[in-house]
């Protein structure tokens, strides 16, 4: 196999809070009439595995290709998986539930779940859009539990006004919620473990409320950490944590950027378009909304057909 940049079929997730912005911004072929809240661009979970959409490996799953060519793709001939990232686009037409994801210690203590640390890059924000990110300083487990009973959870969270171009880091154990009117790129560790503590008293189309996970959430939240201390970045190195690193870059129309071999990279195209051309003549086109996995053994160059902004994620 001669390595080349891999593209994938999106995995669409209908959500009670979802909308139609993925078509508007990225021309995603989302199902008509459905509220699509999430487009999983790169995934290797037990029930959701990305399928390659381009080149000689088209139709094969990411995990099966890595098993066949671990060194060529990851740079590590002993890599055993799963792929260490889950990358999504989120369309929050309505507010998300107040929720938390556990860390490794909590998963061991509870005997279930997969730890999840994440970040949100704000692609688009309606006027007045907010997120809830972490607890206010000094909030105790007892106070939070009482607020759940009374429906006053939001009052104990740090409410943050957001705008396009910001990146917000949310380590495991952070209570949070995404407000309405936001389009977000979510980069995270490969987990779908979510514990909801409050869902704004809403019900689905059949009149049923979504289940809550109050006991697990209270065990998962880091009550000694304040949301005031969580980072917000806008340029350059956006995230540098133990699980992944992420950089924001911009290139002008007509420019060219070399892609040297040696390190696996994931490119998330926010705006613009272009072509990645390999040393052996193979080419892969990209547009806004694409997510490309560049194998460690690949060597080539990016040629930008338009002014382009993109995120580069490495591990």
Supply the residues annotated as catalytic.
196
Q: What angle is formed at CA 149 by the lines to CA 147 and CA 151, rounded to 5 degrees?
A: 65
Nearest to 220 by CA among 171, 261, 269: 171
Q: What is the 3-state secondary structure (H, E, C) of the chain?
A: CCCCCECECCEEEEEEEEECHHHHHHCCCCCCCCCEEEEEEECEECCEECEECCHHHCCCEHHHHHHHCHHHHHCCCCCCCCCCCEEEEEEECCCCCEEECCCHHHHHHHCCCCCCCEEEEEEEECCCCEEEEEECCCCCHHHHHHHHHHCCHHHHEEEEECCCCCEEEECCCCCEEECCCEEEEEEECCCCCCEEEECCCCCCCCCCCCCCCHHHHHHHCCCCCEHHHCCEECCCEEEECCCCEEEEEEECCCCEEEECCCCCEEEEEEECEEEEEECCCCEEEEECCCEEEECCCCCEEEEECCCEEEEEEEC
Rounded to 10 degrees, the C-alpha dihedral 168/173/179/183 comes to 50
CB-CB contact of 184 with 130 (8 Å): no
CA 152 to chain centre: 28
- Tell me how far apart the alpha carbons of residues 64 and 10 are, in angstroms, rounded to a whole number: 17
């Amino acid at each position: 196999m001669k390595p080349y940049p891999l593209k994938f079929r999106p995995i669409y997730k209908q959500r009670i809070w979802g909308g139609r912005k993925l078509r508007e911004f990225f021309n995603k072929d989302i199902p008509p009439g459905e509220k699509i809240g999430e487009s999983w661009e790169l995934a290797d979970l037990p029930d959701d595995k990305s399928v390659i959409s381009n080149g000689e490996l088209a139709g094969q799953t990411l995990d099966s290709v890595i098993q066949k060519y671990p060194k060529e793709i990851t740079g590590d001939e002993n890599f055993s998986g799963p792929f260490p990232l889950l990358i999504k686009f989120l369309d929050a037409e309505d507010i998300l539930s107040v929720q938390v994801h556990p860390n490794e210690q909590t998963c061991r203590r509870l005997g279930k779940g997969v730890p999840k640390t994440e970040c949100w890059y704000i692609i688009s924000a309606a006027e007045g859009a907010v997120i809830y990110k972490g607890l206010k300083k000094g909030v105790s487990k007892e106070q939070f539990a009482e607020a759940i009973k009374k429906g006053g959870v939001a009052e104990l969270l740090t409410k943050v006004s957001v705008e396009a171009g910001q990146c917000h880091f949310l380590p495991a154990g952070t209570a949070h919620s995404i407000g309405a009117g936001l389009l977000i790129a979510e980069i995270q560790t490969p987990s779908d473990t979510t514990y909801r503590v409050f869902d704004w008293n809403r019900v689905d189309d059949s009149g049923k409320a979504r289940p809550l996970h109050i006991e697990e959430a209270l065990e998962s939240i880091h009550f000694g950490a304040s949301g005031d201390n969580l980072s917000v970045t806008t340029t350059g190195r956006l995230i540098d944590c133990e699980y992944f690193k992420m950089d924001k870059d911009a290139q002008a129309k007509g420019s060219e950027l070399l892609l040297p071999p040696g390190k696996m990279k994931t490119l998330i195209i926010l705006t613009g378009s272009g072509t990645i051309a390999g040393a052996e003549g193979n080419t892969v086109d990209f547009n806004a909304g694409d997510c490309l996995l560049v194998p460690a053994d690949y060597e080539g160059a990016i040629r930008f057909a338009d002014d382009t902004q993109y995120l580069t994620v490495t591990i």
